[in-house]
Structure 1
C-alpha cells in the first residue's frame, strides 16, 4: 500500500560516528535522530554498512573495524571506539537509534549496501576477480544480515541499497553475469520480502534504492519491473550514488507509473549538492533551500509519494531544518522561490549513468544548427504572484560580439533584457553568464525546450562555445503583480 513519507538518511559515518570524540555521550549518540526530529521527517533510514563492515555489533556479519585494527585513521579509530564505548555500557548502538527514532515519532529502516559484505571470503569480491552474488555464500550472507536486522531489531523494515554502486560499493554481479543471473537476483529479493513480511511479531516493509532508468537497472541484473508486478517491495528510491548533484529532472516517470499501477510507493531522492569538484575551478557547493524547493516541486508534480534527503550541511541549522519541514507538504513549496538548474554529465559515474543534456558543445558558428536542451519546471509563471522569472546560461569561450541565439519553446529571447557577468572569479576571461529577465517569453509549467545557436563570430575569431550551465529562477511576492488587484 502506498504511503506518504519524508525520509532522512544518515550513513552512520560522515556526520555521526566519524566526528564525535570517544567515548560518545548519549546526547551525541542520539544526535543523528534528534537533528531531524520536529521537522516533517517521519522516517529515519540508517546506513548500517559500508563495503567493508557493519556499524552495529552483528552476530552474523563483521563489525566495521574488526579487520583493520590498530587504526591509522582518526575517523576509523573514532567509529570503532564510539561503537565500543556504547557496547561496553551495555548499549547496542543500533538499538539506541531505533528507540530514539520511535520516541521522536519516526519509523526506522535499516539500509544495507548490497554490493558490500565485509567478512566474507575476499575472493568472492568482484574487485578480486570474484563473481559476487553468483556465489551462493554471498547471497546467504546478505540474507542473514537482512534477517538479523528485520527480526532481531525493532525496525519497521529494511532497505536494499543497490544504488550505492558505483562509488559507494562494488556491484553484485559482473556485467557478463548480469543477463544469466537476473532471475537469481529476483529470487533473492523475493526471499527477502517473504522473510521480512513473515517475521515474528508482525510484517515488516522492504524498500530498495535502485537506478533511475530501466536500462541501468537491467544492466546490473535488477529486474525492477518484475519486483513491482509481484509486489516484492513496498517502496523504491531512484538515484545514482556516485554523483551527489541535485537533479530536478531525473527521468523517473516510467517508474512512478509502473510502481503506482502496483500500489507501490516512489520516494524521490534529493541529492545535496549544487556543484562538485569535477570541474576545473569548482568546489563542492551545497544546494540552497530554493534549489531543494524547485526539485521537490518537480517531483511532486510527477506524482511521487514522498521525498528522501540526506547529507545536508552539518550541523543542521535553521535553513536545513526549514528545508526538511517544507519537504513534507507540497503546498508549502508551491509558491515559494525556486532555483532550478540542469544536471551535467559526470565522470564520477563512469558508464553507469543516465542521460544529461549539459554541457552542450557548439564546435563552430553555423546559423542553420540549433541545439536543444529540454527541462521541466513545476511553476505556472503566469501566476500573478510571480514577481520575476529569469533564465541564466553559463557559456564558455563566448564574447559579446558573437551572434548567439536563444529560444524558449520556439520563441526568441532577443527582445528580453539580457545582462552579462563573468562566468567565474578565478578565470573571468573564460566566458560569460547571460541572464535573461523574462517579461514576455516565460517557461511554461511542465516540459520546456531551450534552443541555442552560435550563428556568427566576429571577424578573425573561429572555434566554438560550450553551454555549461542552464538555470531558471522563479521569485514570488506576497502581493499580486500589477496596479489593479
Structure 2
C-alpha cells in the first residue's frame, strides 16, 4: 500500500470565523497536539473540538487529493469515548455520515485493543472514495438530540492512503452484487430522539449507510403495537402527553410532531429513501406493552388503555402489562397497523418475537380452551408442560395465518407480493415456551424468512445448555430446506472488531445460515472500522480468503500532549483532578 498523507493542521478549515483557540459560542476550539512515535510516524498539528454548548457550524477541510484513497479519521475521545460523535461527508455526498467511538465492554468480548483513554488518539478507517474534486465537511449532531446534549466531537487529523491498481482491485472484490445481498439490517429505534432529525435529509442519515453494501433488507420498527412512529389512521402516533417521563420517547414525540408540521410522513420518507438507495423496506412492529412506572404511559396504546380485559393474566390470575394474542381483537389491531404500513409502500412486514414477551398466558379464552380439552388444573399446571406451550403457540400461529391472508389481499390489490419475515428467539424449546412454532410457520408458507436472535432473557424456565444461534440455525435448517424459507442468523455481540465479525460469519454460515442479520443497526453503522467489514459479509465465497488485511482498520496512537498539557497518565487525570 502507498505511503499515507496526513492532514494534521485543521486550523485551515473554513470558514475561519468558526474556529477559535478558546472555547467560544459558535466556534470549534482549535488545540495543538503532539503524539509519540507510533509505527514509525510522529504527528503534530491542530485538532478541532466542540460540544453541544458551543454549537459550532459545519466547517470544510480542503483535501487537495485526486484518485482513489482509503480515508482514515483520527479522534481525541478524551475521557468520554461513549459520548463522542462526529458527522462527516465528502462534498459530493448527499448526506452526512455519523461516526461514533468504537469502544467495547466485557459483554462484547472485551476487545481491549479498541479501548481508548485521554492519553490516546483513535484512528478508524472511514471509507474508500475517489477524492477528485472533493473536500471533507465536518459537523456535529443536533444539540437537541439526547446523544448530543452531553456529547463531544473532535477531529485531530485525516489520513489519506492512495490506492494502487492492485489495492483497488482487492477492494472491488468486495463490491456488492445481487448474489452477495445476504444481509438484513434491523433498525429497532425508529430514529428516536438520540439524533433529533429536523429535516428530510436528516432522516436519510438513517438509511444511507446501508447503500452500496451487502444489505438487501431493512427491518425498521415503525410501531410498538398500535403506538406508531408516523401519522396513523389506525394506531396512535407517539405523543408527548403519553411520553413525558421517558426522555427518549419524549424526544421521539417532539420530533414526530415537528415532522408532521413540516408535512413529512416519516414512514413514507423512509420507504422512499430505502427504495432510492436500492433497499427493500420492511415495516416492523415490536408487540410490546408499557414500561414499568414512571414510564408506563409511554407504551399504553389506545387498545391497551380502552380494553384492559385483553391483557395477559398470570397463572395466579394477576393481569400483566401485555396484550394477549389469544384475543382475535388484539390480533386484528396488530394486523391493521401492519396493513396500513404495507399499503403505504413497504415491501414487507415483520414482527419482533425476540423481545417484549409474553404474548399469551392464562387469560380467557386461552386457558378455558386448554382446560376443556385437557382437563387441567391451572393452579397445578407446570408452565413448561409441552401441551400447554403448544396451545399458546396456536394463537401466534393464528396471527401468522391471518397476517399472511391480509398481506396477500393487499398484494393482489397493488399487484405485488408483500413479504413477511419475523425475528424469533433462541432454540426450539425456548421458542416453544413463549409460543413460537417457527417450523409450522415455515411449512404453512406463512413467512418468507426468519431471523434467529440469541436467547438472552431473565426467565429461563428450562435447563441450560447450548443456546447458541448456530444451534438454532441447525434446528431450523430441515424445515428451511423443505420449504425454501430463508433463515438468517443475528450476529452478536453488537460491538466487536472486523476480524471477529469475520470469524462469526464463518461459523454462522457453516451452521447453515442463508444470511446474516444485524440487530440495532443504528449503532453498528456508526462504528466505521467494524462496519467496513461487517457490511460486506454477504461475500460468502471470500470469507476464507478475505481480500483485505484487517490490521490497521482501527488503531490507537499514543499522545504526548494536547493543548499544551502533557497526557502521560502518570502526571494527568487522577493526579490533577
TM-score, normalised on structure 1? 0.59
- Give yes or no for contact 2:427–2:468 (8 Å, CA) kept in 1: no
Where 2:263 maps in the other structure, the secondary structure is coil
- The residue number in structure 2 matching 1:263 is 484
- The residue number in structure 1 matching 2:342 is 150
Where 1:295 maps in the other structure, the secondary structure is helix
Where 1:48 maps in the other structure, the secondary structure is strand
For 2:408 and 2:514, locate their aligned partners in 1 and report how far apart those are by CA, in whole Å: 21
- Give yes or no for contact 2:225–2:301 (8 Å, CA) kept in 1: yes
Q: Residues 3, 158 of structure 1: CA spacing in aligned structure 2 closer, same or farther, 3 A cutoff?
A: farther
- Give yes or no for contact 2:224–2:288 (8 Å, CA) kept in 1: no
1:190 to 401, 409, 415: 401
- Give yes or no for contact 1:248–1:298 (8 Å, CA) kept in 2: no
Where 1:298 maps in the other structure, the secondary structure is helix
Q: Residues 314, 260 of structure 1: CA spacing in aligned structure 2 closer, same or farther, 3 A cutoff?
A: closer
For 1:198 and 1:306, locate their aligned partners in 2 and report how far apart those are by CA, in whole Å: 29
Deviations 1:200-246 (A, max 9, x none): 212211111112322122212222222111111110111146469x9
For 1:109 and 1:240, locate their aligned partners in 2 and report how far apart those are by CA, in whole Å: 21
1:316 to 526, 544, 547: 526
- CA shift for structure 1 position 8: 1.0
Equivalent runs, 1:284-303 vs 2, <5 Å: 286-303=495-512
- CA shift for structure 1 position 3: 10
1:75 to 248, 272, 289: 248
Equivalent runs, 1:361-380 vs 2, <5 Å: none
Higher RCO (C-alpha 8 Å, min separation 6): 2
Where 2:350 maps in the other structure, the secondary structure is strand
For 2:439 and 2:220, locate their aligned partners in 1 and report how far apart those are by CA, in whole Å: 26
- The residue number in structure 2 matching 1:450 is none
For 2:472 and 2:399, locate their aligned partners in 1 and report how far apart those are by CA, in whole Å: 27
Equivalent runs, 1:284-363 vs 2, <5 Å: 286-311=495-520, 313=523, 316-336=526-546
- Give yes or no for contact 2:184–2:516 (8 Å, CA) kept in 1: yes
2:442 to 218, 228, 232: 228
Where 1:35 maps in the other structure, the secondary structure is helix
- CA shift for structure 1 position 59: 1.3
Deviations 1:414-456 (A, max 9, x none): xxxxxxxxxxxxxxxxxxxxxxxxxxxxxxxxxxxxxxxxxxx
2:183 is aligned with 1:6: yes
Deviations 1:120-151 (A, max 9, x none): 23423337616611222211211211211222
For 1:320 and 1:100, locate their aligned partners in 2 and report how far apart those are by CA, in whole Å: 24
For 1:115 and 1:314, locate their aligned partners in 2 and report how far apart those are by CA, in whole Å: 24
- Give yes or no for contact 1:326–1:332 (8 Å, CA) kept in 2: no
Where 1:102 maps in the other structure, the secondary structure is helix
- Give yes or no for contact 1:54–1:63 (8 Å, CA) kept in 2: yes
2:173 is aligned with 1:173: no
- CA shift for structure 1 position 158: 0.5
2:424 to 181, 186, 210: 210
Equivalent runs, 1:423-462 vs 2, <5 Å: none
Where 1:252 maps in the other structure, the secondary structure is helix
Higher helix share: 2
1:17 to 192, 195, 207: 192
1:32 to 187, 199, 206: 206
2:452 to 215, 238, 241: 238
1:94 to 267, 271, 274: 267
- CA shift for structure 1 position 178: 4.2
Deviations 1:300-354 (A, max 9, x none): 122322111133546614313312332121133223499xxxxxxxxxxxxxxxx
2:302 is aligned with 1:126: no
Where 2:302 maps in the other structure, the secondary structure is coil
Q: Residues 304, 21 of structure 1: CA spacing in aligned structure 2 closer, same or farther, 3 A cutoff?
A: closer
For 1:316 and 1:247, locate their aligned partners in 2 and report how far apart those are by CA, in whole Å: 26
Q: Residues 248, 236 of structure 1: CA spacing in aligned structure 2 closer, same or farther, 3 A cutoff?
A: closer
Where 1:267 maps in the other structure, the secondary structure is strand
- CA shift for structure 1 position 174: 1.4
- Give yes or no for contact 1:248–1:295 (8 Å, CA) kept in 2: no
- The residue number in structure 2 matching 1:113 is 286
- CA shift for structure 1 position 247: 5.7
TM-score, normalised on structure 2? 0.50
